[in-house]
């Protein structure tokens, strides 16, 4: 029963959603809109699952004193503080509590809500910093691993050279006096528009066919991985 | 151990130091390298120019997180400045949870330059809704069904700008800013199903994957990475729409030098690799 009910739901709704696409009747459209509403609600519930899972993992880490358990405290405290501040103080529009606090303590908040202060002064710089570190690691990895060991590696290396130079103004400056076809930015455009695009199209078509095949397998009950393990 | 072998085993902190210098120096002493405008960027500019002033709005999707903000924020600022300076209306929507914060931060950054621009009159910030595909599809039927209020909790029905805006038929152009695959969903759902005209602003790393869509016209244009943003800044500055600091253009100097340093490191790494390889061979032969 635990398997049959989800399989039946997947089959019925999969077939009905395909059929309704070809019927432009008001009833069909209403059904389609209701399904979209349901989907948004279901996805909103997945966030509850995600947060509860995150909390469980970090509480377990703290209890068992696993490596780096101190950071789990930081995660849990940050999560709680941000959520409480957002719910009580408002996301983009200050709630009455925030307005009262701002007036009472004479706070000067440019961002209007405490959540946006946290976002602007903590989350944005931290996120940007984490991503910026990639530049350092990419440089180090390129120095150590990017070697012209064989023909494929040489082609990759040459392409990387041309694209890296051609995508920045200094590359344009270097080849400014050459004929137009030899200017780096034009070579880069050619690489992106032809070899790159051909490869990307192949990948996209493969992904598209794979998605269709998987969707059909799910609707027909052949692919059951999404049901999880056990009976 | 020979010289090249020592180079091969160079402490990576030296590499980090070189990159840090390459990024920092151009910020302290700008090179002001010339930036030429490419076709995909010019196409986006032309599409925004086609949006009628005080008419159907430009919809901007801020589907990115702070990690990609250094590349995508300048695009958002440039687009907002372009629209606000020319009295074009803007709608902002986020399908990424952090995207809503990015949109608000972008508005906070640009709005002080345009004191006459008002929420609900000249722009509407819809906020965030979960369920990317469903939200895009639902917006094609009726925006109010998925966003009954704006991000500030004001009913869309009470906003003067939203009086005649119900779905994609009432939106002139859509521009999605994202470092993920969300722009493809906009193409699949809003573009293919509702024939919405769409453009994309993305990180330099992701730009390559959008060329098939650019070539078929499914994306009307593209801002690729910091360079795309810098080109757009150049275009709006040339038209005299803004005198604001060109953040992307300033960053391009640093990116140019950093790329040169990485290329230099790759060359040195390869010379060291082959030199030490031949040195090892020679040693083997003499000892054999």
Task: Quick: pLDDT tens for A20-40.
Answer: 989 989 999 899 999 999 999
Query: The domain containing residue B233 runs over which residues?
Result: 39-245
Residues B52 and B92 in one domain: yes
* Residue B147 sits in the same domain as residue B271: no
Cα separation, A96 vs A230, whole angstroms: 50
Residues of B with CB below 8 A from A200's CB? 208-209, 211-212
Distance from C-alpha of B71 to C-alpha of B203, rounded to nearest angstrom:
6
Integer Cα distance of B249 and B271 in angstroms: 34
pLDDT the model gives residue A202:
95
Phi, psi of B274 (to 5 degrees): -75, -35
Contacts 24+ apart (CB under 8 A), A137-141: A138/B262, A139/B15, A139/B16, A139/B18, A139/B19, A139/B258, A139/B261, A139/B262, A139/B265, A140/B12, A140/B15, A140/B16
The three-state secondary structure class of B220 is coil
- In this structure, are residues B268 and B7 in contact, taking their beta carbons and an 8 Å threshold? yes
Same domain membership, residue B23 and residue B123: no
DSSP percent split of chain B into helix, strand, coil, nearest 5: 60, 10, 25
**Does A161 sit within 8 Å of B138, measured CB to CB?**
no
**Nearest Cβ partner for A33 among B15, B33, B141:** B141
Of the pLDDT bands very low, low, confident and very high (cuts 50, 70, 90), residue B279 is confident
Same domain for B272 and B233: no
- Residue in A40, A120, A136 nearest the CB of B19: A136
Query: Sign (positive/negative) of CA torsion B219, B222, B224, B226?
Result: negative
* pLDDT tens-place string over residues B134-160: 999 999 999 999 999 999 999 999 999
Same domain membership, residue B231 and residue B260: no
**Total number of domains in chain B:** 2
The reply to whether B20 touches chain A by the CB within 8 Å rule is yes
Instruction: Please compute the mean of the pLDDT values over residues B181-189 and round it to a whole number.
Output: 95
Query: Are B222 and B276 within one domain?
Result: no
Q: How confident is the model at residue B288 (pLDDT cuts 50, 70, 90)?
A: low
pLDDT at B217: 95
Instruction: Return residues 71-90 of A near B (CB < 8 Å).
Output: none
Task: Check whether residue B22 and residue B103 sit in a common domain.
Answer: no
Which residues on B lie below 8 Å from A129 (Cβ)?
Answer: none
pLDDT at B117: 96
Residues B216, B157: one domain?
yes
Q: Is the pLDDT of residue A231 over 60?
A: no
- Would the CB atoms of B152 and A92 count as touching at under 8 Å? yes
- DSSP secondary structure of A137-170: HHHHHHHHH----SHHHHHHHHHHHHHHHHTSHH
The pLDDT of residue A229 is 65
Distance CA A136, CA B34 (A): 26
How confident is the model at residue A1, as a pLDDT?
78
How confident is the model over B102-115, as pLDDT tens digits? 999 999 999 999 99
Question: 3-state class of A178 per DSSP?
Answer: coil
State how far residue B282 is from chain A, nearest Cα, in angstroms.
19
Question: What's the maximum distance between 2 C-alpha atoms anywhere in chain B?
Answer: 89
Residues 92-121, chain B: which have Cβ within 8 Å of A?
98, 100-102, 104-105, 108
Contacts of B16 in chain A (CB under 8 A): 136, 139-140
| Contact of B168 with B194, CB cutoff 8 Å | yes
**Residue B16 sits in the same domain as residue B102:** no
Instruction: Please state the pTM of the whole predicted model.
Output: 0.91
- Contacting residues of B for A147, CB less than 8 Å apart: 269-270, 273
Residues B235 and B115 in one domain: yes
Same domain assignment for residues B55 and B189? yes
- Does B256 contact A148 at a Cβ distance shorter than 8 Å? no
Helix runs in A64-181, H state only: 69-89, 96-105, 114-118, 124-145, 151-166, 169-174
The mean pLDDT of A144-162, rounded to a whole number, is 91
CATH number at residue B121: 3.40.50
Residues B211, B258 within the same domain: no
């Amino acid at each position: 029963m635990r398997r049959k009910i989800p399989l039946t739901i997947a089959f019925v709704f999969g077939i009905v959603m395909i059929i309704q696409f070809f019927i432009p009747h008001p009833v069909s459209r209403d059904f389609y809109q209701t399904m979209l509403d349901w989907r948004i609600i279901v996805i909103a519930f997945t966030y509850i699952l995600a947060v509860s899972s995150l909390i469980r993992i970090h509480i377990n880490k703290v209890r068992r004193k696993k490596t780096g358990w101190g950071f789990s405290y930081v995660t849990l405290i940050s999560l709680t503080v941000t959520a409480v501040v957002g719910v009580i103080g408002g996301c983009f529009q200050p709630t009455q509590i925030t307005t009262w606090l701002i007036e009472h303590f004479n706070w000067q908040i440019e961002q209007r809500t405490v959540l946006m202060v946290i976002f602007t002064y903590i989350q944005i710089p931290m996120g940007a910093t984490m991503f910026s570190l990639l530049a350092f690691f990419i440089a180090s990895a390129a120095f150590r691993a990017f070697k012209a060991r064989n023909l494929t590696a040489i082609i990759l290396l040459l392409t990387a050279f041309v694209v890296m130079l051609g995508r920045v103004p200094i590359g344009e400056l270097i080849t400014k006096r050459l004929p137009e076809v030899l200017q780096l930015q034009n070579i880069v455009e050619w690489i992106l528009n032809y070899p790159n695009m051909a490869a990307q199209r192949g990948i996209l078509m493969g992904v598209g066919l794979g998605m269709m095949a998987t969707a059909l397998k799910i609707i027909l009950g052949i692919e059951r991985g999404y049901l999880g393990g056990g009976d | 151990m020979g010289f090249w072998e020592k180079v091969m085993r160079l402490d990576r902190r030296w590499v980090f130091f070189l990159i840090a210098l390459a990024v920092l120096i151009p910020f302290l002493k700008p090179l002001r390298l010339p930036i030429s405008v490419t076709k995909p960027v010019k196409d986006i500019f032309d599409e925004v120019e086609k949006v009628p002033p005080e008419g159907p709005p430009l919809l901007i999707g801020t589907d990115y997180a702070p990690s990609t903000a250094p590349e995508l924020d300048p695009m958002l600022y440039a687009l907002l400045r372009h629209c606000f300076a020319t009295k074009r209306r803007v709608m902002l929507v986020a399908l990424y949870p952090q995207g809503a914060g990015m949109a608000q931060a972008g508005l906070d950054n640009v709005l002080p330059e345009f004191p006459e621009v008002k929420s609900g009159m000249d722009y509407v910030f819809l906020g965030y809704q979960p369920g990317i595909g469903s939200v895009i599809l639902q917006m094609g039927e009726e925006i109010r069904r998925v966003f009954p209020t704006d991000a500030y909790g004001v009913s869309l029905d009470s906003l003067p700008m939203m009086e005649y805006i119900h779905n994609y038929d009432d939106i002139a152009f859509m521009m999605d800013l994202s470092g993920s695959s969300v722009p493809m969903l906009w193409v699949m759902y809003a573009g293919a199903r509702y024939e919405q005209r769409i453009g994309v602003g993305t990180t330099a790393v992701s730009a390559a994957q959008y060329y098939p869509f650019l070539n078929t016209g499914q994306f009307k244009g593209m801002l690729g990475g910091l360079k795309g943003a810098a080109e757009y800044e150049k275009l709006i500055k040339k038209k005299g729409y803004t005198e604001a600091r060109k953040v992307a253009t300033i960053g391009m100097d640093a990116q140019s030098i950093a790329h040169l340093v990485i290329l230099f490191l790759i060359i040195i790494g390869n010379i060291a690799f082959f030199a030490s390889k031949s040195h090892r061979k020679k040693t083997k032969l003499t000892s054999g």
